[in-house]
Structure 1
Amino acid sequence: MQGAGAAETRGGSKPWLVQDGLWERIEPLLPVVERRFRYPGRRRIGDRRVPCGILFVLYTGIPWRHLPQELGFGSGMSCWRRLRDWNDAGVWQRLLELLLAELRSARMLHFSRAAVGSSHVRALIRALKGGPATGRSPVDRAKTGSRHHVIVDAHGIPLAVTLTGGNRNDVTQLIPLIQAVPPIHGRCGQLLRRPRRLYADRGYGHDVHRGRVRRLEITPIIARRGTGHGSGLGIHRWVVEGAVALLHWFRRLRSRWEIRDDIHQAFATLGCAIICWRRLKTSL
């Protein structure tokens, strides 16, 4: 991959190329792999190239086995193993937390309010075989799939994303989604963890869950069930719809390809981190 560093620094037309600034944030998070001297096996591909292969699959949605060898990112299976291992080591979650902290330092993160939402994605043939976190959707002709549950800040920056079966009701994931928001560093004072107000549509409109949100010291502003459209909350809720659309701009997240839910969750968390990185670049 001759000249890859220069291409990565330039390259807006190839978004899967990891830019120098992003790599400087990823590299310190990677686990150290001890070199085997007695039985070294095949030479391990460099860590700098592998994220490009992972992002190529995330952006294009191609099967791992079709990852073009001429790109120099390694084989699809090598990239898959590295995605799995780094996810197990917490790399993608820590990357997201790091970028959220930098956004806070740049005064681009606003916790005055947050919004939650979800979207159903269909499971393709491999995941239909019985992968975890799949189920028949009650709103998509009982098609088997999964749901992405997303919480964003006032400007649509994704704070957390969780994965459930397509048959799970949104309201059951309200508290777990709030609890999935990591403590955010970045400025002097207390860690950010809870927004002041939380906006949600009628799917979350149960009094029991409103009470649980209040006990977390968050003011719930949730449309009442049984009321018609036009609650007026869309003026604040549209940001979560935009964040879901950005996540699904990554072709690999438009459908559930993976049988393993941890691999799909890794892609979703990485997608959130890339969205945060794009926002952060505007302040650099």
Structure 2
Amino acid sequence: MDGGQWDWIVPAGLWEIARPLLPAPRVRPQGGGIVGVADEAVFAAIVYVLVSGCAWRALPPCFGASKSTVHRRFLIWSRAGVWERLHQAVLDRLAADDLLDVSRVVLDSAHVRAKKGGEHTGPSPVERGKPGSKLHVLSDAAGLPLVVGLSAANTPDSRELKPMVTRLQSRHDPVSGRYRKIGKPGKLHADKAYDHSELRRWLRGKRIGVRIARKGVESGRRLGRHRWVIERTISWLFGYRRLSPRYERRPYAYLAFLTLAAAITCHKRHLKLTM
């Protein structure tokens, strides 16, 4: 395969980061079989589905892979944690180049319509009770997505604060055995949906500054000058058409696409800042 063949859809250098993270293909014990489609072509096809929002069956023939091959490998890689490790590998590069600012982190969520239902869906309070999900995003001070999550649309935002912050602070990668390079967050900014005294105590116990708007006390305007970046981040993620609406019934499949989108977003930022 010629180098750069998929540059029109895969950002430069992303495949080189992803390639060593893929699980080894299974070998038929009896030997034989047909030559499989190259992983690079399948990776490009998955990125194409994420960006374009097309159905698996609508994949163009230029990738040289059937929709069943691409979909099957996507599920295998998703179960193997490839997208989480890819996202972390990109974040490690940003951290190594001192391009992550965790002196302030920002947390927010957004509703997404769930077309086919499935796990992690519920009646959406902003969609007249139609089935939906919430995606949760924790970003650095510049809006780079550090952690992403998924829950049912009727899940209170406050319930996801601890898991999101804990995942950010978990420095040991159980898959690779490496220690992550992201530093400890200094302050956490969030809107009034996260205003709970127990959460404030929990954050202070972890020596994280609390910058959460207070219900009935603060208008949120002053805090909004730091929180606006997360709105832009969510807009970046929804620019990947496969994420809105949600078509995947399996929550891990949707979360896989969401994590890949976060990895690509961070990688593009790294390319821009290091060119």
After TM superposition, list the pairs within 5 Å mapping 1:124-139 onto structure 2: 124=115, 127-128=116-117, 131-139=118-126
Task: Measure the CA separation in 1 of the matches of 2:34 and 2:210.
Answer: 55
Assess if the C-alpha contact under 8 Å between 2:11 and 2:264 holds in 1: no
Q: Which runs of 5+ in 1 are unaligned?
A: none
- Give the superposition deviation at 1:228: 6.1
Distance 1:213 1:76, change over 3 A: same
Give the count of matched residue pairs: 268
Deviation sequence 1:49-92 (CA, Å, 0-9, x none): 011110111011111111112x1241222111111111211211
After TM superposition, list the pairs within 5 Å mapping 1:245-256 onto structure 2: 245-256=235-246
SS at match of 2:15: helix
Distance 1:44 1:177, change over 3 A: same
Q: Which runs of 5+ in 2 are unaligned?
A: 174-178
Match of 2:20 in 1: 28
Distance 1:239 1:208, change over 3 A: same
Task: Measure the CA separation in 2 of the matches of 1:193 and 1:106.
Answer: 13
Structure-2-length-normalised TM-score: 0.91
- What amino acid is aligned across from residue 149 of structure 2 in structure 1? T
Assess if the C-alpha contact under 8 Å between 2:172 and 2:180 holds in 1: no
- What amino acid is aligned across from residue 67 of structure 1 in structure 2? L
In the alignment, which of 150, 170, 183 is matched to residue 171 of structure 2?
183
Assess if the C-alpha contact under 8 Å between 2:123 and 2:132 holds in 1: yes
Task: Measure the CA separation in 2 of the matches of 1:201 and 1:115.
Answer: 9
In the alignment, which of 137, 145, 153 is matched to residue 150 of structure 1?
137
Structure-1-length-normalised TM-score: 0.88
Are 1:72 and 2:55 an aligned pair? no
Assess if the C-alpha contact under 8 Å between 2:23 and 2:77 holds in 1: yes
Assess if the C-alpha contact under 8 Å between 1:100 and 1:184 holds in 2: no
Match of 1:206 in 2: 196
Task: Measure the CA separation in 2 of the matches of 1:226 and 1:77.
Answer: 53
Report the RMSD for the aligned CA atoms in angstroms. Answer: 2.1
Are 1:170 and 2:157 an aligned pair? yes
Assess if the C-alpha contact under 8 Å between 2:95 and 2:181 holds in 1: no
- Give the superposition deviation at 1:278: 0.2
Match of 1:94 in 2: 85
- Give the superposition deviation at 1:184: 8.5
